[in-house]
Structures are given as C-alpha cells and as structure tokens.
C-alpha cells in the first residue's frame, strides 16, 4: 500500500476549503493519526482500465481518468493511447505556476500532423455534467468559485445544486484537454496538467479528464518555456514522451501498485478535519 | 519597464479571491487593456535597500523584503547578506507543491556551522503585526483563511480587523524564515520560498519576510528532494548559492531594472476586476 497518493489527493483539495471551523471535532487527530488508524476498507485500487502511464526518461507519471465527468474525451484518449498516438510525441509547454502540456507539436500543420486513426477529431465540450447520480463528498468550508466543493470518487470537484451541475475543480494535478477558441475544439490529443496554484478560473471553461496520482514531480520540475504561454521556443527543448500506455495493457509486473484513499469514508472526513485545522505540535494557530 | 513582476504580483493574490461578482464593472476590461492604459504613476521602482539578489548558476532571483511586517528579521537578513553569510551555502530542500529552502546545511552542527558574525542568533517571532498604520487594499471577495485579504504595498496580505492584526499571506512566491518547534526559533539564516499552492495554513505560524518578484522559475524547477520534507539526501544534490547580495550594494549597471505595479491605484483595482471574472474571448464563463 502506498500512502503517497492519498497525501497527494488531500493536497488537491484543501486549498479549496478554509480554516474557519464551526465546531470543534470530537478529538484532535493529526493526519498521521488518521492514516495510522485507516483500514483496508478506506482504500481502493486504481482501475487499470482507467489509468494511464505517461512514460518519460525521468520516470512514470500515473494518471487516473475520469470517465464519469468526460466520457467522450476519456473514450477518445483511450483510443489514442491504445493506438500509440502519443508515443514519440513531446511535452511542448511548461508555464510557471500554471500548467505543463503535451501533444503533437506539429498538430496544426495538416501536412505533418500525426493521424488520429480510429479516434475522433471532433468531440462535444464536456465542461460540466448533471450533478445527479454522483456520490459527492461535500467539504465543510466555503469556496470562492462554486457553491459547493468536495470530492467525487477521489477527484476534487465542484457542484452547483441550483443549476444541478457538477464539474472537476482545477487543482494541482488536474488533467484537462487543451482547446482553441471554440468550446468544442478539444479532442484529447492535447493534454495539460496543472502544476501551480489552482487555476479555478478554468473551471467550466474546458474539459477536464483526470488527475495525476503519482509522479507529478517529473512534470513540475520541467524547465519553463520562454515563448508565449510557456511554450518551448526550440524543438530541442521539448521533452520526449516515450509512451503513454493504459495500465490494463501493461504486464501486471510492470504496473505501479497503487492504492488511493477513498473519499467517501469516515476516515477521509477525519483526514479533511486534520488538515482544516492543523493539530501537529508545530502549529501555533 | 518590466511588466512581468506586475503579472506575477497579480498571480499571487487572485487565488485568495473568488469569482462571485456582486455588481458588474462599468466596462469589461481584460488584463491587457488595464496594463496598456496604465501610466507611470501606476508603477513603482523597487527600493535597492530592501531588495535581495539570490544569484544561482541558472540566474538571478529578485526578492523584495518586507520590513513593515518583520523588521527584526529583515534587519538580521540584511546584516547576514552584507557579511556574505549566504555566499557559497546551498539550497537544501525542494518539496513538490510546497517550498524551496536554503541556508547552512551544517547549521545544526555547532562544529561546522557558519558563524553569524554581527547578526543575531535569536529574534522574536514576527508572525503578525498591528493592522494600524498599514495602507491595506482589500480584495472584494471572501477568503477562507482570514476576515480580509488584499495587498499592502504590493505584498499579498491578510487582516483581522477585530483583532487589529495583519500579516503576509502565504502565496506563490512568498518568502519566509524557517523555524524549528519553538515559535521564536527563526533568525533569517534559513529562508524558504513558496513554490506551490498557497500554503495558507502557515499564516500566523511563521515569520514571513518578503516575496520573489522575478526569477522564481530558477527555484520552482529544482529537482524535488527525496528525503523527508523534500530535503536533498545527498550533499551533491544541493544547489550552490553563488551569493545573496543587497541590490544597493551591487553596481547600478548590474542591477535588475524592475518596476512593479502599485497596488493602491485605480489601475490595480481594474486589474483585480479583470482577473476576478475573465473577459478574454477564450472564456465561456
């Protein structure tokens, strides 16, 4: 069992919350207390059919897909991945305190662009989805960007009960599908990961497709591009992608054995509380 | 005139705010509109007596000190810097989505620690200061961590009017003085910069001394340390510091010619509004 993804998942959400406790918890647990007391039932194994491995020279980035939020995009990305579309392409953009992005550097040149094969060139925008049917763990604190924020099956998410919609929140590690000016101009061939302060202004403006659960440090340390929007100006600065593979297509022995903490449990509620108001001895306030 | 620090300063604050506009602005300006319309009076030059240059092999990091928030620490840091205390020391920690930290890697070994010279070993904690006497530009949106957030002379800050106190907010680029368990155990020899999601839980728990205004990308890309808290495990992984110098001690021709946007102007209020609700054509919401 690896604790790291759980810590990371937590880091994704707390910036959305606040520190104004309304009532004291029954007992003041630290995060470590909560993790130590967790049981196997508090954890889940990633679904290999919904897990991508982005393989770089520096290591593997593990991405959990969110078909419940972007079914058409996730389906298309899986089709692209299984056809080896991304293998040998590159990371083309690293903008400080914002995102790292990869895809086909020649994608806009019809003569040079890599063919999409069985994948679709055109998809509907999937910015939001109906809130109904989602098990949503609401965080107790106010958020500036949405009426409610919390978690859906591990993913940091937001919800507008009045409008009856939900969406993935742009947090550290959130993965989205880059688009041009048209709302429906993304198809999953251009993907980005948030590597800075939660850019929540992107929420409901772009299709989010998943989140990084391990290895984001292979992306967050990449040299920042000096061109507009952090694109690399020289082809030689781009970072080669060895391959993107679906975990299900990787021999079991080569898979990353990861469990992540469930976000619909009492243990997770305790974990959130331990992070809303820190109980560790170091903290004065 | 360099626009970059202004954009950066802005990036520091917006995560604290929200997107729930209460009334529409008179006209919908984009950030570019605001910058294009700004006048020299909307900008100010950094004070060389309160500006540090952290010189690395990869380039220069420019830090603006905040004596109005931590007079004793800033005074001590200036003393250390002028004596060359940091020259030849190293960056010893890079924790993903959190901080980069530097100082004397042997600081805890009395036999090897670099002597402090005229600087003080012991300082009072400067976590907060009286709100009175500070020109505080309040942001219009709610914040989860403080009754009010905004800017004081360019620095992202928070205020509690009831308690009559103010403090620097931990945002991307905020510089603080590392401490051990005792609240008054920092003296400015260990400094950190926030390189991830605003760790607001640190607010009022540690002494903040300034902010990076240029060159943070030399810090944010550093390989993450694999030891506890992101410390480098091997001495060879540490990143050497060529020198830290006070801008006032650097020949004028070698100084970074920077202006930053004032945060107490109509232009800055327009800039905040342009970022609270994006007007650029790309945005749908």
Q: Give pTM, 2 decimals.
A: 0.90
Q: Which of A18, A183, A224 is opposite residue B221, by nearest beta carbon?
A: A224
Separation CA B225–CA A212 (nearest Å) = 19
The pLDDT value recorded for residue A51 is: 98
- The verdict on a CB contact (< 8 Å) between A285 and B172 is no
| A175 close to A210: Cβ distance less than 8 angstroms | yes
**If we measure between CA atoms, which residue out of B95, B70, B71, B266 comes closest to residue B176?**
B70
The pLDDT value recorded for residue A19 is: 33
- Comparing alpha-carbon positions, the chain B residue that sits nearest to A140 is B144
The CA distance from A260 to the nearest CA of chain B, in Å, is 19
Residue A27 — very low, low, confident or very high, per pLDDT cuts 50/70/90? low
Residue A16 has pLDDT above 70, yes or no: no
DSSP sequence for B115-178: P-TTS-S-----S-EESTT---EE-SS--SSSSEEEEETTEEEEEETTTTEEEE---TTEEEE-
Report chain A residues whose CB lies below 8 A from the CB of B61. none
Instruction: Give the total residue count for chain B.
Output: 285
Separation CA B188–CA B78 (nearest Å) = 9
The CA distance from A206 to the nearest CA of chain B, in Å, is 9
Angle subtended by helix axes A266-276 and A4-13, to nearest 10: 60
**What percentage of residues in chain A have a pLDDT greater than 90?**
84
The CA distance from A53 to the nearest CA of chain B, in Å, is 20
Contacts for A244 with CB less than 8 Å, ≥ 6 apart: A52, A53, A54, A55, A81, A85, A86, A87
- The verdict on a CB contact (< 8 Å) between B143 and A18 is yes
User: CA angle, corner B259, sides to B255 and B260, nearest 5?
Assistant: 130
Beta strands in chain A (DSSP E): 43-45, 51-56, 59-65, 90-94, 99-103, 129-130, 137-138, 148-152, 155-160, 165-168, 174-177, 191-194, 207-214, 239-240, 243-246, 259-261
Q: What is the dihedral of CA B25, B30, B36, B37, to 10 degrees?
A: 0
Beta strands in A169-269 (DSSP E): 174-177, 191-194, 207-214, 239-240, 243-246, 259-261
Residues of B in CB contact (< 8 Å) with A are: 11, 14-15, 17-20, 96-97, 127, 141-145, 171-172, 181, 183, 196-198, 200-201, 203-205, 216-217, 220-224, 275, 278, 281-285
Q: Which of B17, B172, B183 is opposite residue A284, by nearest beta carbon?
A: B183
Q: Tens digit of pLDDT for each residue in A180-209?
A: 999 999 999 999 999 999 999 999 999 999
Q: Tens digit of pLDDT for each residue in A117-143?
A: 999 999 999 999 999 999 999 999 888
Report chain A residues whose CB lies below 8 A from the CB of B127. 284
Q: What are phi and psi of A153, to 5 degrees?
A: 45, 45
Residue ranges of chain B whose pLDDT lies below 50: 1-25
Separation CA A240–CA A91 (nearest Å) = 6
Report chain A residues whose CB lies below 8 A from the CB of B141. 144
Question: Which of the two residues, B13 and A27, has the higher pLDDT score?
Answer: A27
Least confident range from A40-44, A58-62, A101-105, A279-283: namely A279-283
Task: Give me the helices (H) in chain B, please.
Answer: 4-13, 31-37, 71-82, 217-220, 266-276
- Comparing alpha-carbon positions, the chain B residue that sits nearest to A274 is B201
Residue that has been written with the tokens 């300006």 in this structure = B29
DSSP sequence for B95-109: -TTSEEEEE-TTTT-
Separation CA B11–CA A197 (nearest Å) = 9
Work out the number of other CB atoms within 10 angstroms of the CB of residue A163: 11
The pLDDT value recorded for residue A144 is: 87
Work out the number of other CB atoms within 10 angstroms of the CB of residue B230: 21
Residue that has been written with the tokens 């507008």 in this structure = A160
The pLDDT value recorded for residue A278 is: 86
The pLDDT value recorded for residue B27 is: 64
Separation CA A82–CA A246 (nearest Å) = 7
Work out the number of other CB atoms within 10 angstroms of the CB of residue A265: 17
Q: Tens digit of pLDDT for each residue in B95-152?
A: 999 999 999 999 999 999 999 999 999 999 999 999 999 999 999 988 889 999 999 9
Mutate to test the interface with A, among B158, B181, B201, B215 (most CBs of A within 10 A): B201
- The verdict on a CB contact (< 8 Å) between B282 and A205 is yes
The CA distance from B83 to the nearest CA of chain A, in Å, is 31
Residue A1 — very low, low, confident or very high, per pLDDT cuts 50/70/90? very low
Mean pLDDT of chain A: 91
Mutate to test the interface with B, among A197, A199, A279 (most CBs of B within 10 A): A197
Report chain A residues whose CB lies below 8 A from the CB of B203. 285
Q: Tens digit of pLDDT for each residue in A52-67?
A: 999 999 999 999 999 9
Q: Tens digit of pLDDT for each residue in A203-259?
A: 999 999 999 999 999 999 999 999 999 999 999 999 999 999 999 999 999 999 999
Mutate to test the interface with B, among A17, A22, A97, A176 (most CBs of B within 10 A): A97
Sign of the dihedral through C-alpha B21, B24, B26, B29: positive
The CA distance from B142 to the nearest CA of chain A, in Å, is 7
């Amino acid at each position: 069992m690896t604790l790291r993804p759980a810590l990371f998942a937590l880091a994704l959400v707390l910036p959305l919350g606040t520190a104004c406790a309304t009532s004291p918890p029954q007992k003041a647990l630290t995060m470590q207390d909560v993790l130590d007391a967790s049981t196997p039932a508090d954890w889940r194994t990633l679904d290999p059919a919904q897990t991508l491995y982005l393989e770089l020279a520096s290591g593997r980035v593990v991405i959990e897909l969110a078909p419940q939020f972007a079914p058409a995009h996730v389906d298309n990305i899986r089709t692209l991945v299984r056809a080896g579309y991304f293998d040998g392409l590159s990371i083309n953009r690293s903008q400080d305190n914002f995102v790292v992005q990869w895809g086909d550097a020649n994608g806009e040149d019809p003569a040079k662009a890599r063919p999409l094969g069985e994948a679709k060139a055109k998809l509907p925008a999937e910015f939001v989805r109906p809130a109904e049917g989602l098990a949503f763990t609401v965080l107790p604190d106010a958020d500036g960007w949405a009426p409610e924020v919390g978690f859906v099956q591990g993913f940091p998410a937001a919800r507008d009960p009045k409008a009856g919609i939900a969406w993935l929140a742009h947090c550290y590690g959130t993965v989205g599908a880059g688009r041009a000016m048209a709302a429906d101009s993304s198809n999953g061939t251009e993907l980005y990961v948030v590597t800075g302060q939660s850019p929540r202004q992107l929420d409901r403006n772009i299709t989010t497709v998943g989140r990084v659960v391990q290895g984001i440090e292979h992306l967050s340390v990449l040299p920042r591009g000096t061109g507009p929007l952090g694109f690399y100006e020289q082809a030689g600065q781009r970072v080669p992608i060895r391959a993107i593979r679906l975990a299900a297509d990787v021999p079991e022995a080569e898979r990353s054995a990861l469990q992540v903490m469930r976000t619909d449990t009492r243990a997770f509620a305790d974990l959130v509380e331990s992070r809303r108001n820190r109980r560790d001895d170091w903290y004065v306030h």
